[in-house]
Amino acid sequence: MRRTDDKISRAILKILLEAKSPLETKEIELVLKNVTRTKLLYRLNLLRGDQLIRGKAIGSGKGTWIWWRNKVFENNG
């Protein structure tokens, strides 16, 4: 089973593809209202493991992450 076969993962990818800048987990959580934070972080980390998105922990141990689509910072020219 591919990671993008479930509704939550597809929604996360759509949100990040449409975003113009990296998003914090909380910003994604606001869009996906009926998804628990635990389930959201699980899906985000699975997508990151599959190299479909990128993520980086920020802050000092508070569990704050930023997420962006893969290859967003590469130069197109």
Q: Is the distance from CB of 39 to CB of 58 less than 8 angstroms?
A: no
- Whether pTM > 0.95 for this model: the answer is no
Cα–Cα distance for residue pair 37/42, rounded to 1 Å:
8
Q: Is the distance from CB of 57 to CB of 65 less than 8 angstroms?
A: yes
> pLDDT: is 77 or 42 the higher one?
42
Domain boundaries, the chain: 3-69
Q: Is the distance from CB of 32 to CB of 11 less than 8 angstroms?
A: yes
* pLDDT, tens only, 2-34: 666 789 999 999 999 999 899 999 999 999 989
User: What pLDDT was estimated at residue 64?
Assistant: 84
Hey, what CATH class is 3-69 in?
mainly alpha
